[in-house]
Structure 1
Amino acid sequence: MRQLLTTGLLWFSAIGCGLIAGLYFAFSTFIMTALGRIDQAAGIAAMNSINVEIVRSLFMPFFLGTTVSCAALAVMGLLRLSEPGGAAMIVGGGAYVIGMFVVTVVFNVPLNNALAAVRPSSPEAASLWAVYLKDWTFWNHVRTVASLGASALFIAALAGS
């Protein structure tokens, strides 16, 4: 039963981390660049709209569910550290929880909140938008790498078990 639970969590986490990594990859490689190339007020309005819709979408159950399953896998990996895949579960779970979830809460969400609080056509919006594009994208790169790395580690754990 324990092995079945572990295998199920590994599959769910590998797929969930991969999906999240793909979304973040799209933002890092072309969406933020495209938003930065259009009129500032339009870019801010578009990003604010994305930020409102994403929390209402199917993204949130994967975002939260994958975070919980990754944390569980990190703990389960500690209990089976000497077994094949145990270390990959610890590192993958930790990378995702810290590199994706904590980074989101500590960096990306506060940037989103600041952007939502500014009037898109105001003078202060120009400097905020420039900082937002640079900083939000940097932290999104971190989330992309953490999510992709976690997915790969969970796949390795599956292959090793």
Structure 2
Amino acid sequence: MELSIDLLLWSAAIGCGLIAGIYFAFSTFIMAALGRIDEGGGIAAMNSINATILGSLFMTLFFGTTLASVALVILGLAAWGQPGSTVMLAGGLIHVIGMFASTLVFNVPLNKELTRAGEGAADVWARYLKKWTFWNHVRTVASTVACAGFIAALLARPPVF
């Protein structure tokens, strides 16, 4: 069982790290680059990115890491008081709430609004860039902190072998 928990922690840490890197790229230069082009081109590019990502391996990473995080929340509660359980629980909650829930509540509705707006909606594009990027910053930080929490949990746990 301990080996399974360690493997789950490693998987979640790596998944969170990969997700944080993708979000970091969007937060630090992709959205700024899209904001520099005309709104029609920016909207078309972002809509293309959003449509492409839904059929990509990113979705497996997105949902798989979220499921691992939920499992680690449960395991953190079940192992309460044992080394690493607090950061295991915290990492899982931070990822599920800060990354997954904020995506569903903020980023996805903004993406849908952008799709409906189509090209030529300068006011929608300006608002989208500001709000979507803010919530992407939240997702970046949450994924990074969750990754660190899972690594801390691994370091706190007694060696399996």
1:135 alignment counterpart: 131
2:146 to 140, 145, 150: 150
Report the Cα offset of residue 4 of structure 1: 1.2
Question: How well do the aligned residues superpose, as a CA RMSD in angstroms?
Answer: 0.5
1:39 alignment counterpart: 38
Does the 8 A contact of 2:13 with 2:147 survive in 1? yes
Give percent identity, aligned residues only: 61
2:19 alignment counterpart: 20
* Structure 1: distance between partners of 2:19 and 2:102: 14
For the pair 1:94 / 2:88, whether they are aligned, the reply is no
Q: How does 1:33-112 map to 2 (within 5 A)?
A: 33-112=32-111
Report the Cα offset of residue 119 of structure 1: 2.2
Q: How does 1:4-19 map to 2 (within 5 A)?
A: 4-19=3-18
Does the 8 A contact of 2:20 with 2:144 survive in 1? yes
AA paired with 2:148? A
SS in 1 for 2:118: coil
List alignment gaps of at least 5 residues for structure 1: none
AA paired with 1:71? V
Does the 8 A contact of 2:23 with 2:137 survive in 1? yes
* Structure 2: distance between partners of 1:81 and 1:120: 52
* Structure 2: distance between partners of 1:9 and 1:107: 28
List alignment gaps of at least 5 residues for structure 2: none
